[in-house]
């Protein structure tokens, strides 16, 4: 547990979901200082069991009192936006630092939107709630960070190829049922997903873009702290189990050197360059699944504009796109002695209040 001052109690809200289960796995894999893990889910799962660090873990039904009194220093939320809107402020008021995977608070100016490789300092200006960006946004900004620092990105055009696990357990079930020939009624997606591509991720808005596309367009500006970046996104659901892929073209303010751009990508924290097209080596979702890095390949100059670069970016949406990023944010805070001290003190205070 090097670098940590305090072991802490950690609450996972939505622990039975795809992201929640991945959070437990990521917490087990990393040298994260978990003293006690508290798993919360809906009434449907209350009393069921998960496994953490080889031991059985009872799932608790999420209620305001149970959460506020649980004594955790940090709560990782992944139970959807409406649950976060209700329960994240309850936890924050009880002194529990919330790291929220939903879209509920991402564009709130008072809530930092954090990707540790890109804007780690933002995590320290939170008032109790920190937002984890959308999975498609995270992998794109990790890949583009150093290029943006060096050449100033002015425009991004991105098309995504998003896996079904990005839509939670019901999305995965629909694909598996369709592939195995089962009749699917009341599926997660509005059309069959097996052997198909759906140019719709989340609901449509007045301007013809979907909410998912707006998340990429808006969150990118907030994370880079640069309102001048224009982003045009088309988000597509594809019949892939895990791992989102993205075809990205960026236009820079400044002229760039392709070899230097490759070097910058190779030296970008969290990025692995896989780009040997003649050997047919490029990032693929099946290779990214189970990994924490963001993979970048198909790097080439865009010949249609003055200073543009095209890339193919792939990452595991449940890991770097959700669980790993959230755990990394908690690690940042807990490695700061003064912040960790405060978090432990306030979490303990919440438990004491419940007992009294």
* Token pair belonging to 155: 């425009």
Active site residue 214: no
Candidate list 45, 210, 220, 328; residue touching ligand NAP; CB under 6 A: 45
* Token pair belonging to 340: 């960790």
Asked if residue 288 binds ligand NAP (CB under 6 A), the reply is no
Candidate ranges 14-22, 115-123, 222-230, 245-253; the one touching ligand NAP (CB under 6 A): 14-22
Using CA atoms of 18, 131, 86, 345 in order, give the dihedral in degrees to the nearest 10. Answer: 100
- Is residue 74 helix, strand or coil? strand
For the chain, how big is the Rg over CA atoms in Å? 20
Candidate list 10, 11, 20, 71; residue touching ligand NAP; CB under 6 A: 20
Active site residue 197: no
**Strand arrangement, sheet containing 34-41:** 49-52, 55-61, 34-41, 8-13, 74-77, 97-100, 129-131
Asked if residue 318 binds ligand NAP (CB under 6 A), the reply is yes
Candidate list 8, 79, 94, 113; residue touching ligand NAP; CB under 6 A: 79
Asked if residue 160 binds ligand NAP (CB under 6 A), the reply is no
Tell me how far apart the alpha carbons of residues 76 and 175 are, in angstroms, rounded to a whole number. Answer: 27
Candidate list 7, 36, 64, 80; residue touching ligand NAP; CB under 6 A: 80
Candidate ranges 148-156, 229-237, 302-310, 316-324; the one touching ligand NAP (CB under 6 A): 316-324
Give the residue nearest to ligand NAP (CB): 17
Cβ-based nearer residue to ligand NAP, 313 or 344: 313
Residues engaged in binding ligand NAP (CB under 6 A): 14-20, 41-42, 44-45, 62, 78-81, 83, 101-102, 135, 165-166, 168-169, 317-318, 321-322
């Amino acid at each position: 547990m090097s670098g940590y001052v305090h072991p802490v109690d950690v609450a996972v809200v939505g622990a039975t979901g795809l992201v929640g289960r991945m959070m437990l796995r990521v917490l087990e894999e990393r040298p994260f200082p978990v003293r006690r893990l508290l798993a919360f889910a809906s009434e449907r799962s209350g009393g069921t069991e998960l496994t953490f660090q080889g031991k059985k873990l009872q799932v608790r039904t999420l209620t305001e009192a149970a959460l506020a009194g649980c004594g955790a220093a940090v709560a990782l939320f992944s139970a959807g936006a409406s649950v976060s809107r209700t329960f994240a402020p309850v936890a924050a008021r009880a002194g529990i630092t919330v790291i929220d995977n939903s879209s509920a608070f991402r564009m709130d100016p008072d809530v930092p939107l954090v990707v540790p490789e890109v804007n780690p300092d933002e995590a320290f200006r939170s008032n109790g709630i920190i937002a984890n960006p959308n999975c498609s946004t995270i992998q794109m900004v990790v890949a583009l960070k150093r290029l943006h620092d060096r050449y100033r990105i002015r425009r991004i055009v991105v098309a995504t190829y998003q896996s079904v696990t990005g839509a939670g357990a019901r999305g995965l079930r629909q694909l598996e049922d369709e592939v195995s020939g089962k009749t699917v009624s009341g599926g997660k997606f509005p059309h069959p997903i097996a052997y198909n591509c759906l140019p719709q991720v989340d609901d449509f808005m007045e301007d013809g873009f979907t909410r998912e596309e707006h998340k990429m367009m808006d969150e990118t500006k907030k994370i880079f702290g640069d309102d001048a970046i224009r982003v045009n996104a088309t988000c597509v659901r594809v019949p892939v189990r895990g791992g989102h892929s993205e075809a990205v073209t960026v236009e820079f303010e400044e002229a760039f050197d392709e070899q230097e751009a490759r070097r910058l990508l190779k030296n970008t924290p969290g990025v692995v360059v896989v780009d040997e097209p003649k050997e047919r080596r490029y990032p693929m979702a099946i290779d990214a699944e189970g990994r924490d890095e963001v993979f970048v390949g198909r790097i080439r100059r865009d010949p249609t504009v003055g200073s543009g670069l095209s890339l193919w970016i792939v990452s595991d949406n449940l890991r770097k796109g959700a669980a790993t990023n959230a755990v990394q944010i908690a690690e940042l805070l807990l490695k700061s002695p003064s912040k960790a001290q405060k978090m432990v003190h306030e979490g303990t205070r919440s438990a004491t209040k419940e007992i009294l």
